[in-house]
Structure 1
């Protein structure tokens, strides 16, 4: 797990998927990884806020990484100094445009499932972390 978080880095752009009443939506977000959680900010007037308020189950995706987790509201972005510093360093343009706005709220995603593709000696492997059951799997891709 520690290798995963280290390789992931402090942040990246990821697709956030949310759903409500069997309607799924996705959008690109600027995501910070801090202390094993995935953090982002958004405006409380957006549709994704309503979806998150009623259904905390989310998915994040970037490159060959998929994360499923539970999302919770965590106050205002500027009230979390560690988040604000990382967000400013990693996404200076978004920080300058949005973080100070009165409608911006901070969210934290606790991962329950992580998967990514790894390649060893040119061979593909699926790495899975099932965090709720504390299981780890590394499986070679066998084709289908």
Structure 2
């Protein structure tokens, strides 16, 4: 599996939307909370209130991790401004389509900011068609991929 294939594998597993756990930290104070994410343009996007504690953390330290199922994404969060100010309002359209309940309940246009997380390193745990576990490590900065079968080396433990 090359970098392009691994990246496609990742985004296919996440798209179009996922509820993901977002971890952030400032001054060794770590917080984790769920965010409703949309996946497009090779990134992960979510919205949040500009006044929340997590937003203050993201401004101070943009290094984050997102986790969903067997996928952990380490990356950098970038606050893009108000959701309604995004060119062509792609996030808003996708949010309304895929996350209608949240869209309907939490759309406060004057306070909702758009956050883009650009992956830097990803770890995926998955199983193949024979239910054999494997890991994929994707380094976005170096554009490298490492595939590690897990069950083959542990088959004697069964």
Range with bigger deviation, 71-80 or 108-117 = 71-80
Query: What is the aligned-residue RMSD (CA, Å)?
Result: 1.4
Matched, 1:132 2:145: no
Alignment counterpart, residue 39 of structure 1, candidates 45, 48, 52: 45
Q: Give the TM-score normalised by structure 1.
A: 0.94
Q: Are the counterparts in 2 of residues 124 and 140 from structure 1 also a CA contact under 8 Å?
A: yes
Q: Which has the larger radius of gyration?
A: 2
Q: Are the counterparts in 2 of residues 77 and 99 from structure 1 also a CA contact under 8 Å?
A: no
Q: Residues 4-45 of structure 1: CA distance to partner in whole angstroms, max 9, x if unpaired?
A: 212321111000011000010000110000111100011111
* CA distance in 1: counterparts of 2:126 and 2:117, whole angstroms: 23
Q: Are the counterparts in 1 of residues 84 and 109 from structure 2 also a CA contact under 8 Å?
A: no
The number of equivalent residue pairs is 144
Which residue is equivalent to 2:73? Answer: 67
Q: State the shift of 1:101 in Å.
A: 3.5
* CA distance in 2: counterparts of 1:48 and 1:40, whole angstroms: 12
Unaligned runs of 5+ in 2: 1-6
* Greater fraction helix: 2
Which residue is equivalent to 1:11? Answer: 17
Unaligned runs of 5+ in 1: none
Alignment counterpart, residue 90 of structure 2, candidates 82, 95, 114: 82
Alignment counterpart, residue 29 of structure 1, candidates 23, 32, 35: 35
Range with bigger deviation, 73-82 or 40-49 = 73-82
* SS of residue matched to 2:90: helix
Q: Are the counterparts in 2 of residues 68 and 112 from structure 1 also a CA contact under 8 Å?
A: yes
* CA distance in 1: counterparts of 2:13 and 2:79, whole angstroms: 26
Q: Are the counterparts in 1 of residues 15 and 40 from structure 2 also a CA contact under 8 Å?
A: no
